[in-house]
Amino acid sequence: MSKSYFGTDGVRGTVGNDPMTADFAMRLASATTQVLVPQGGTVVIGKDTRLSGYMFESALEAGFIAAGADVLLLGPLPTPGIARLTQEFDADLGVVISASHNAFSDNGIKFFDRSGSKLTDEIEEQIEEHLKNPAITLGSQALGKAKRIDTARSRYQEFCASSMPEGVDLEGIKVVFDGANGAAYKVGPRTLANLGAEVIPIGCSPNGRNINAGCGSTEPDLLQMTVPAVKADVGVALDGDGDRVVMVDEKGELIDGDQLLYVLAMARKDKGGLKGPVVGTVMSNLGLEHALRDRDIDFKRAAVGDRYVLETLRSTGGIIGGETSGHMLVLDKTTTGDGLISALQVLAIMKESGKKLSELVSGMPKYPQTMVNVRMEQRMDPATSKPIQDAVRAAETELAETGRVVLRASGTEPVIRVMVEGEDREQVVSLAERLASVVAASAA
């Protein structure tokens, strides 16, 4: 069964357009209650700093209460914090109101089950079946009730701090923290400061409209300028909902998710605490794979999307995985992608080793990578086209062991993404353009 509303990470869209309306949010709450909280259990709701979050919080609260569920309102809190507090409060469901790294004009709604994990495709399909019906309102005796939790931030801060190795603090480390004017604008600086770091906050003044605007993990230019300007040791940038992280070394150089994965894997390997393979995606840099191979660390690639990285980690017994974008999974610390906890692990490695971040990443080469998006009249699977596959094989032969080719159909729009990666930048660009021309001709 195909899904009409749920994508790879909940329901998302432009506020005011279907499905991101107050009416839909109320129906979604009602449908989800009937599937996951049928006996009148407890739901926690958190959000990022978007202006529309107030509207969706109220609509969801009404829908859950009308269907008989009790609601705990957490206020602005990173997505992984909501996953954690779902477990801590022994709730049946966690709800996040956020569009992650998107602009403030978008918003989204995603869910965690009682274990702090994302819902399965099967559960989402059941919810969509119930969405075909109007929202329900029970009689007065059966209605749920709501309560605002004032300790949500402090509870999450304590949990993040507890992820640090025993006896390790951040005394002596100067950190520029970029909160993307999003959900981590308070908990990020406070957690770092409580651990002893000297913190310089930027992107920590949300006004409801400036989330992810010129700041955060998707636009780290300001962070890259600020770190060397204030002679900081390191910079940390989260996205709007706090589940992604990129970092900046003391020189102002951007350190992406692949490089952070390398740092985490190397440290675990050296301590003997690395379990299973390290998991990236089909888009992870080839330099990461080669660097891990040279240290006899198994590396596996999953489809793009943190849920697929998580599935591969669980099926292989791995504990560390992530995407180039900075969506990191450290499963012996928490159940879902957590930008702040991932950053803390890297900062702890810096403190314990006495090394700068630039030194820690120096063992991983980053191969040139070029992406060309080819727009189609309608969606197509490039694997079904003989001319495209012949061109791919020719490019792979030319690259030999020094590079690779990935063709991927977008899951949200009629676009084929052509990615070529290799040691020689000119060769990579030339092959990407040649493949894109074949794809475009095949779709004509």
For residue 148, report the phi and psi dihedrals to the nearest 5 degrees: -90, 130
CA geometry: angle at 82 spanning 150 and 314, to 5°? 155
CB atoms within 10 A of CB 401: 9
State the catalytic residue, choosing from 30, 52, 100, 217: 100
CA angle 35-37-39, nearest 5°? Answer: 115
**Helix boundaries (H) for 327-424:** 339-353, 357-360, 386-399
* Secondary structure (3-state) at 375: strand
Active-site annotation holds for 325: no
DSSP string, 261-325: HHHHHHHHHHHT---S-EEEETTS-HHHHHHHHHTT--EEEE-SSHHHHHHHHHHHT--EEE-TT
User: What's the rounded Cα separation, in Å, for the pair 134 and 137?
Assistant: 10
| Dihedral angle over CA of 187, 168, 358, 258, nearest 10 | -60
Q: What residues are labeled active site?
A: 100
